[in-house]
Amino acid sequence: MTSPRSRKLRLHIFGSKMHKWLAVFIGVQALLWMATGTLMSFLKIERVRSEHVISRELPPLGPDAPLPAWATYSGDLVAVTTKTVNDRPVVEMSRSNGTASLHDPLTGRNLSPLPRSDAKAIAMAAWPGSPTAIQSAVPVAQPVGTEYHGPFPAWQVQFADPDGTRLYIDASTGAVLAARSDTWRYLRLYLGTPHYGLDPARSDQQLVASSVRGRRHPDCQFGLRASGKSVPEAAQTEHLAEVGRTARPLHAPVRRILRSISSS
């Protein structure tokens, strides 16, 4: 009959072996993560995506392009599209400098920027969730923390749902550009959801050092460099304040933590 002491000894040996092999497995994973993160930190995200070998710029329309009778050829048009905005047909004219405008298809009257009523109607039409109301709709002409960085002008439409959802709508074209909620803000703060295309504030050497130390850079995921750019300290501070102001449906302890971070 096996004595309690020998049984305990076998369990101890089994636990020691299990602990050793778990340490090896997790250690290898961590080393691979740091090694690949360090390697990827030296590569631009455009090169990883093979975007450095292609151009997405549309060629301008030629002088013989069929345009509406009211349109004047200016040489910078790249697309003329007929679409529906708020159940009415409009003509969207896109230009080579990245700007666009909406026009009445019959008269050519410029409809951009869209008024608040149109922005709210577009937001309600895009809302797929349970019935809710629009709390506010405010114009946006500059970056909103790390939530939204253009294009401008835009409308920020705030829903009255428990998750504090906001839609950002292009005031020039009526396109829904981004959707943000308290869930997104929470994950953006605590899990480091990447946000590419912000102003530079940290060097690539810091990014590489973070990868070597096994820490994920706050602007990157798995060590990928965010187009050589990172979040400036002012934007990070504004984002923390934004999270603290808008994290209503989170549990009370998390809300207290967010408020303390925002006020620090």
Q: Which of 60-69, 121-130, 195-204 has the lowest mean pLDDT?
A: 195-204
Res. 111 pLDDT band, cuts 50 70 90: very high
Query: Residue 103: how many CB atoms within 10 A of its CB?
Result: 19
List CB contacts of 243: < 8 A, sequence separation 6 or more: 185, 186, 188, 189, 258, 261, 262
pLDDT for residue 14 is more than 70: yes
More confident residue, 240 or 48: 48
pLDDT tens digits for range 153-205: 999 999 999 888 999 999 999 999 999 988 888 777 765 544 443 333 344 44
What is the Rg, in whole angstroms, of the alpha carbon atoms belonging to the chain? 26
Alpha carbon 242 to chain centroid, angstroms: 15
Res. 145 pLDDT band, cuts 50 70 90: confident
> Three-class SS of residue 191?
coil
- Tell me the average pLDDT across 14-41: 86
pLDDT for residue 231 is more than 50: no
What integer pLDDT is reported at residue 5 of this predicted model? 66
- Nearest-angstrom CA–CA distance, 242 and 228: 25
- Tell me the average pLDDT across 141-154: 89
Angle, to 10 degrees, between the axis of helix 4-41 and the axis of helix 204-212? 160
Q: For the chain, give me the number of helices (H) and strands (E)?
A: 7, 7
Query: Residue 45: how many CB atoms within 10 A of its CB?
Result: 19
Mean per-residue pLDDT of the chain: 76
Q: Which of 11-25, 89-103, 174-188, 224-238 has the lowest mean pLDDT?
A: 224-238
Alpha carbon 202 to chain centroid, angstroms: 19
What integer pLDDT is reported at residue 185 of this predicted model? 81
| pTM, two decimal places | 0.61
pLDDT for residue 248 is more than 50: no
Cβ-contact 254, 247 below 8 angstroms: yes
What integer pLDDT is reported at residue 3 of this predicted model? 65
pLDDT for residue 61 is more than 50: yes
What are residue 110's phi and psi, to 5 degrees? Answer: -75, 125
What is the share, in percent, of the chain residues with pLDDT greater than 90? 35
List CB contacts of 131: < 8 A, sequence separation 6 or more: none
| Segment (H or E) for 79 | strand 77-85
- Tell me the average pLDDT across 243-262: 48
Q: What is the largest CA-CA distance in the chain?
A: 100
pLDDT for residue 101 is more than 90: yes
- Nearest-angstrom CA–CA distance, 69 and 74: 14
What integer pLDDT is reported at residue 7 of this predicted model? 80
